[in-house]
Amino acid sequence: MSAANNSDAHVGGIHRRGLLQIGYSGLLGVGLPSALRTLANEPTARKTTLRSGETGNSIARKPKSILLVFLTGAASHHDTFDMKPDAPAEVRGEFQTIATPVPELRVCEHLPLLAERAKHYAIVQSLSHGDNNHLMSTHHVLTGELQPGGFFDKVASRDDWPNYAAACEYLRPRNDGIPSGINLPTFLMSSPLTWPGQHAGFLGPRFDPWQITADPSKPDFKVDHLTLASGLDVARIDDRASLLDQLNRQQNRLAEMAGSRRLSREQNLAVSILSSSRLAQAFQLDREPAGSRDRYGRNTTGQSLLLARRLVEIGVPVVQVNIGRVQNWDNHSNIFTTLKNRLLPPLDQGMAALLDDLKSSGLGDETLVIMLGEFGRTPKINTTAGRDHWGPCFFGLFAGGGVRGGQVIGKSDKHGAYPLTKPFSPNDVGATVYDALSIPPHAEVRDRFDRPVRLNRGTVIEQLYSGANG
């Protein structure tokens, strides 16, 4: 229905009931660092450098969404999706395997729901890189490139590579109030360390993804910077001009912005965001049927995955869900008790519900789901009943977005220590992400010194789509 025919619409197409419960207080501050500045200054998509003979048609296609489920701290492949039941006890571990509809895949007994759905995803068992440090490996996985100048526990800096959401925002700036990327529900830092790979790196802060740091499983869940400032009565706003007038009166910071032209553009962008009812409703989990919320699990993992699905539904291109806080899966001791009682059951329930919903809604065709950690765990169980860091071999789960489910790609050796088949690096994961977003992995971006840089040096994992084992 057009604004002209809708009695509930404001002048300019803003709807009273649909007007976002998003506050302007955060839009120009740390809450949404890129939303205003990027779109105000980047009205058109940047050009990319294509290989000889390419037409660039992939850039013109509607980009798919990426839903990245990050098992921060690194889940054990031996105790989830690459189990070794015939290995010695110190490698095999305590868990039993269970069958799946895919003959070559047996998974952990504590993942029964994902076992049933094995035909809906592919498991890559030969991911590999050469590092065992959380921070550098996280950067590698979340950006698809090695951390520039990386060293043990090198914290995040503006010399880092941009993450996937930032590159998407750089190459495809939006003007519809929907962000290019949202990370939730935690920010990965542990004083004094801030994990790299969570922001735009050398592209600059205006391309940083939105960061949500609130637990969606809490009864009072809300995103503080997505709430209208106190005293702003949406029902009394008659048109775009009066909205801006009220916002201006409440936000003295606007008056401090340099340049009236930029001020006007940012004001217009604020209106676009404020009037995006789709974004507001995505965060309103109480609009989700109670039965649906129950299917995901009434816990942080389940409700975060549910929120991610709702964000994909409204067209957010890159959504990252951190399953836990930093080192959540870093089980150097008591790994079997921790996995069995705390980590695997909510992941199993939430991921199963996510895959079901994406498939039934048709969104699965347009959404590439990737679940992985920054590395694997050591084949041999240590003296405190845990497993330590292991970069040479780990797993990734891939579903939707054209991936052929029901297959295992790659193979590790009998102890899960090294790939027996072709290894795939985080660079290859990055190339696969960009390809799914219709962004050429070799696209050229500019660093903060305006030097040309190739976005990614990996190769798309074609076996995900062809069904040929790697």
Q: Is the pLDDT of residue 23 over 90?
A: no
pLDDT at 271: 53
Q: Span 212-240, mean pLDDT?
A: 64
Q: Is the pLDDT of residue 60 over 70?
A: no
Give the tens place of pLDDT for each residue, 77-109. 999 999 999 999 999 999 999 999 999 999 999
**Going by C-beta distance under 8 Å and a sequence separation of 6 or more, which residues neighbour residue 310?**
282, 283, 285, 288
Letter string b/e over residues 199-228, b meaning 16 or more CB atoms within 10 A of that residue's CB: bbbbbbebbbbbbbebebbeeebebebbbb
pLDDT tier at 273, thresholds 50, 70, 90: low
- Token readout for 50 is 């294509």
Q: Is the pLDDT of residue 4 over 90?
A: no
Spatial distance between the Cα atoms of 7 and 12, rounded to a whole number of angstroms:
13
**Going by C-beta distance under 8 Å and a sequence separation of 6 or more, which residues neighbour residue 161?**
139, 143, 144, 145, 146, 147, 148, 197, 201, 202
Of the given ranges (115-129, 170-184, 354-368), which has the lowest mean pLDDT? 170-184
Give the tens place of pLDDT for each residue, 362-404. 999 999 999 999 999 999 999 999 999 999 999 999 999 999 9
Q: Is the pLDDT of residue 56 over 70?
A: no
Of the given ranges (142-151, 174-183, 194-203), which has the lowest mean pLDDT? 174-183
Quote the CATH superfamily of domain 60-217+299-466: Alkaline Phosphatase, subunit A (3.40.720.10)
pLDDT tier at 274, thresholds 50, 70, 90: low
pLDDT at 468: 66
Residue 38: phi, psi to the nearest 5? Answer: -65, -50
Q: Looking at per-residue confidence, does 292 or 242 come out higher?
A: 292
pLDDT at 469: 65
pLDDT at 279: 83
Q: Is the pLDDT of residue 256 over 90?
A: no
288 to each of 294, 303, 352, 459, how far by Cα in Å?
10, 11, 17, 39
Task: Check residue 341 and report its DSSP letter.
Answer: I
Spatial distance between the Cα atoms of 9 and 308, rounded to a whole number of angstroms:
29
pLDDT at 46: 38
pTM over 0.95: no
Task: Check residue 379 and report its DSSP letter.
Answer: S
Q: Is the pLDDT of residue 289 over 80?
A: yes
* Cβ-contact 335, 196 below 8 angstroms: no
Spatial distance between the Cα atoms of 300 and 283, rounded to a whole number of angstroms:
14
- Token readout for 187 is 């920010």
pLDDT tier at 31, thresholds 50, 70, 90: very low
**Interior angle at CA 96, CA 330 and CA 413, nearest 5:** 70
Task: State CA 131 to chain mean position distance.
Answer: 22
Of the given ranges (199-203, 345-349, 465-469), which has the lowest mean pLDDT? 465-469
pLDDT tier at 229, thresholds 50, 70, 90: very low
* Cβ-contact 412, 421 below 8 angstroms: no
Q: Looking at per-residue confidence, does 113 or 60 come out higher?
A: 113
Q: Which parts of 33-167 are beta strand (E)? A: 65-70, 97-99, 106-108, 121-127
